């Protein structure tokens, strides 16, 4: 906010600034202000199994390879590089990407809508070097596949940065092919736009090719801030950066590959911010679950998805952080092995990142093509599949639910659910984990709430529980908040969204009126009530009646979380059966029979 500019004529401006989408139609789609039928496919395909198989069959290592060659041809894609040439520089690159998106749209009934996200970032604002280039206006390329509904306006973003860099981040003319970093991620996102555009998803999917990552996540920041300013809800963001290389270099940044020259085309890393109860980690687990359940039985070469603990490699970052920094869920997908760049500024640097050797590889004259020592297009295709499958499932799937009560008893958990939509989901999934970032088990309910599951842990084990809604086609929503439980703790009540929960199903809140002891009794007896919550403390009493309904007495109960013990003194009187009822909000919710022996 620059309140006093009119007085001082000097006011610090933050960049990137003035983000705008160059198409009104795309702007309206992003904010959910559109008519879904405008974008209806003539063949509506929403079956998750068909879509997963379709992605597996259609993602093409040849298309990906062709895109890498094309991106290589622009010579330098520094954000401050040439914008007017038709063959080299960032301008030619973004126009080529824009045109590819248009072609993919035409091949799919024009359902994919293409625009630029335009923003201002003057070279003078970049402190990494003095005035590289002169152009203050920059563009990300957006392609938007409108969702089939606008009830839930959340969008899903898949992004990669197209810009490249040389040893000097200010070098806007020297060769900077930026193939591993990040033509691979760019090709991946473009390929997903191509193969996903024939399907119909509930949520809008945004394919974004960003600029200015190397100067500090500038294009991604413009996009994230733009979406935030428009109050756009985002289910999740998949950032793809350094996605198709297999070679371990000398200076790969930790945590990374095992030793120089190691080749790994089987593992994929997902970096994300946070630990317990991190929505980013929850999303990474969802990606892995969907791959396992939708694809692992079909693929010929399976991918091992590694959920990494840190937000990114040590000392390094990426475009996902522009989103997590303002509260959105986002993760980074990166190849397992990396060929640099822990110390790229050192004189002995031998790796292939952030310099002119980040190229298509070594020319093999026998093959008539580049070899795949450094880059492996089949690996890139497999990583594209992992990505696209997760996006497809979350874009098809239902809205997230919340758990309203999680109670642990001995070796079982009881979980209750609350969903914002009606009718309630046909089923739920409950995920638990303990020692690692991976879920140990993901249970499926039949829609009953509360649901009860055995847990595979011994005593004194801390574990984490979360839940998702499942729709009729078996697709999960994103998983809820994670709750911490322990096999040694009292039942835990998880507060619902309402501050005054209804007591119509007290079971759901762990409320249990236990049999009194002793029973039968002579003069007095102990009544125990467990509760998972303090919410009913001032709303409960015990009522004692005879079998014919005569009220003997009432006793307020300050019902607290945990075990509540109440002594009932009958005193002297005739023997008989007494009904003890727990009354909450004036309604009897549970009762027991007590036998008074009399005196
Ligand atoms: Zn990068």
When pLDDT is averaged across residues 164-170 and rounded to a whole number, the result is 90
Is residue 492, in this structure, part of any structural domain at all?
A: no
438 in the same domain as 350 = no
Is residue 577, in this structure, part of any structural domain at all?
A: yes
**Residue 376 clears pLDDT 80, i.e. is over it:** yes
**Residue 211 clears pLDDT 70, i.e. is over it:** yes
The reported pLDDT for the residue numbered 23 is: 98
* Centre of ligand 1 from the C-alpha of residue 393, in Å: 26
* Centre of ligand 1 from the C-alpha of residue 13, in Å: 26
303 in the same domain as 428 = no
377 in the same domain as 411 = no
| Residue 14 burial class via C-beta count within 10 angstroms: exposed 0-12, middle 13-18, buried 19 and up | exposed
46 in the same domain as 140 = yes
* Centre of ligand 1 from the C-alpha of residue 316, in Å: 10
* Centre of ligand 1 from the C-alpha of residue 18, in Å: 24
300 pLDDT band, cuts 50/70/90, is: very high
Torsion angle (degrees, nearest 10) of CA 89, 93, 94, 99 = 150
SS3 582: strand
Closest CA to 582 of 486, 510, 497: 510
**Residue 1 clears pLDDT 60, i.e. is over it:** no
CATH number of the domain that residue 567 is part of: 2.60.40.1930
- Secondary structure letter of residue 569 according to DSSP: E
- Residue listed under structure tokens 């705008």: 20
The reported pLDDT for the residue numbered 331 is: 98
390 in the same domain as 406 = no
Do the beta carbons of residue 365 and residue 298 sit within 8 Å?
Answer: no
The reported pLDDT for the residue numbered 210 is: 98
**Per-residue pLDDT tens over the stretch 503-551:** 556 666 778 888 888 888 887 888 888 787 888 887 888 988 888 878 7
Q: 57-83 in b/e burial notation, b at 16+ Cβ within 10 A?
A: eebbbebbbebbebbbebbbbbbbbbb
From 284-293, 368-377, 458-467, the region with the lowest mean pLDDT = 458-467
The reported pLDDT for the residue numbered 346 is: 67
363 in the same domain as 220 = yes
* Centre of ligand 1 from the C-alpha of residue 22, in Å: 25
265 in the same domain as 251 = yes
Is residue 497, in this structure, part of any structural domain at all?
A: no
456 in the same domain as 356 = no
From 148-157, 305-314, 486-495, the region with the lowest mean pLDDT = 486-495
- Secondary structure letter of residue 446 according to DSSP: -
490 pLDDT band, cuts 50/70/90, is: low
Is residue 501, in this structure, part of any structural domain at all?
A: no
- Residue listed under structure tokens 């298509």: 360
* Centre of ligand 1 from the C-alpha of residue 214, in Å: 7
Q: How far apart are CA 218 and CA 189, in angstroms?
A: 18
Q: How far apart are CA 268 and CA 200, in angstroms?
A: 28
- Residue listed under structure tokens 């590089």: 81
Task: Report the percentage of the chain scoring pLDDT > 90.
Answer: 58
385 pLDDT band, cuts 50/70/90, is: very high
The reported pLDDT for the residue numbered 8 is: 42
When pLDDT is averaged across residues 463-478 and rounded to a whole number, the result is 90
130 pLDDT band, cuts 50/70/90, is: low
Q: What is the biggest distance separating any 2 CA atoms in the chain, rounded to whole angstroms?
A: 106
Query: What is the DSSP track for 76-116?
Result: B--TTS-SS-SSSHHHHHHHHHHHHHHHHHHTTTT-SEEEE
Helix 48-58 to helix 279-294 angle, to the nearest 10 degrees?
Answer: 80
Domain count, the chain: 3
* Centre of ligand 1 from the C-alpha of residue 465, in Å: 34
* Centre of ligand 1 from the C-alpha of residue 167, in Å: 13
Domain end marker among 371, 396, 421: 396
CATH number of the domain that residue 247 is part of: 3.40.630.10
* Centre of ligand 1 from the C-alpha of residue 184, in Å: 10
543 lies in which domain range?
A: 509-596
* Centre of ligand 1 from the C-alpha of residue 428, in Å: 38
Is residue 342, in this structure, part of any structural domain at all?
A: yes
445 in the same domain as 587 = no
* Centre of ligand 1 from the C-alpha of residue 354, in Å: 9
When pLDDT is averaged across residues 222-235 and rounded to a whole number, the result is 97
Task: Report the percentage of the chain scoring pLDDT > 70.
Answer: 89
* Centre of ligand 1 from the C-alpha of residue 308, in Å: 18
Is residue 235, in this structure, part of any structural domain at all?
A: yes
pTM here is: 0.81
Mean pLDDT of the residues in the chain: 88
* Centre of ligand 1 from the C-alpha of residue 164, in Å: 8
* Centre of ligand 1 from the C-alpha of residue 33, in Å: 33
**Residue 348 clears pLDDT 60, i.e. is over it:** yes
353 in the same domain as 218 = yes
16 in the same domain as 118 = yes
| Residue 386 burial class via C-beta count within 10 angstroms: exposed 0-12, middle 13-18, buried 19 and up | buried
The reported pLDDT for the residue numbered 7 is: 44
476 in the same domain as 518 = no
């Amino acid at each position: 906010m620059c309140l006093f500019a009119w007085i001082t004529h000097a006011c610090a401006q933050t960049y990137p600034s003035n983000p705008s989408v160059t198409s009104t139609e795309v702007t309206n789609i992003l904010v959910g202000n559109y008519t879904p039928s405008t974008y209806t496919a003539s063949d509506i395909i929403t079956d998750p199994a068909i879509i997963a198989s379709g992605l597996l069959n259609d993602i093409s290592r040849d298309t990906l390879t062709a895109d890498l060659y094309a991106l290589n041809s622009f010579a330098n894609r520094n954000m401050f590089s040439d914008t007017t040439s038709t063959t080299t520089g960032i301008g030619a690159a973004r126009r080529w990407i824009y045109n590819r998106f248009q072609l993919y749209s035409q091949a799919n009934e024009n359902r994919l809508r293409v625009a630029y996200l335009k923003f201002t970032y003057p070279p003078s604002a970049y402190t990494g070097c003095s005035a590289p280039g002169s152009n203050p206006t920059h563009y990300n390329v957006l392609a938007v596949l409108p969702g089939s509904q606008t009830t839930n306006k959340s969008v899903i973003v898949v992004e990669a940065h197209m810009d490249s860099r040389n040893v000097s981040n200010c070098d806007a003319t020297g060769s900077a092919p930026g193939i591993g970093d990040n033509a691979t991620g760019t090709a991946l996102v473009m390929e997903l736009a191509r193969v996903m555009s024939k399907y119909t998803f509930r949520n809008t999917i945004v394919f974004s090719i960003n600029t200015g990552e190397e100067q500090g996540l500038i294009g991604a920041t413009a996009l994230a801030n733009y979406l935030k300013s428009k109050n756009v809800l985002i289910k999740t963001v998949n950032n793809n950066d350094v996605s198709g290389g297999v070679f371990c270099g000398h200076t790969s940044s930790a945590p990374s590959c095992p030793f120089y020259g190691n080749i790994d085309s089987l593992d994929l890393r997902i970096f994300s911010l946070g630990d317990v109860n991190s929505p980013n980690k929850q999303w990474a687990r969802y990606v892995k679950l969907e791959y396992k359940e939708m694809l692992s039985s079909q693929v010929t070469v399976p991918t091992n998805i590694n959920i990494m603990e840190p937000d990114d490699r040590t000392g390094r970052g990426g475009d996902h952080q522009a989103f997590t920094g303002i509260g959105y869920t986002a993760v980074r997908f990166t190849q397992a092995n990396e060929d640099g760049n822990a110390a790229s500024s050192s004189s002995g640097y031998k790796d292939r990142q952030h310099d002119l050797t980040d190229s298509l590889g070594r020319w093999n004259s026998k093959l008539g093509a580049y070899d795949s020592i450094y880059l492996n297009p089949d690996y890139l295709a497999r990583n594209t599949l992992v990505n696209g499958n997760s996006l497809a499932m979350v874009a098809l799937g239902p809205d997230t639910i919340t758990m309203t009560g999680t109670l642990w008893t001995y070796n079982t958990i009881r979980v209750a659910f609350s969903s914002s939509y009606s009718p309630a989901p046909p089923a739920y999934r409950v995920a638990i984990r303990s020692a690692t970032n991976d879920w140990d088990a993901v249970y499926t309910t039949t829609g009953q709430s509360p649901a009860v599951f055995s847990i595979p842990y011994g005593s004194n084990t801390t574990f984490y529980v979360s839940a998702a809604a499942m729709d009729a086609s078996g697709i999960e929503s994103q998983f809820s908040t994670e709750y911490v439980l322990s096999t040694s703790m009292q039942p835990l009540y998880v507060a619902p969204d309402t501050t005054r929960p209804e007591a119509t199903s007290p079971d759901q809140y762990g409320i249990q009126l236990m049999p009194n002891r002793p029973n039968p009794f002579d003069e007095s007896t102990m009544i125990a009530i467990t509760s998972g919550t303090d919410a009913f403390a001032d709303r409960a009493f015990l009522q004692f009646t005879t079998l014919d309904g005569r009220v003997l007495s009432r006793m307020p109960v300050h019902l607290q979380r945990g075990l509540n013990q109440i002594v009932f003194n009958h005193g002297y009187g005739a023997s008989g059966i007494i009904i003890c009822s727990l009354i909450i909000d004036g309604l009897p919710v549970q009762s027991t029979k007590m036998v008074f022996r009399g005196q």
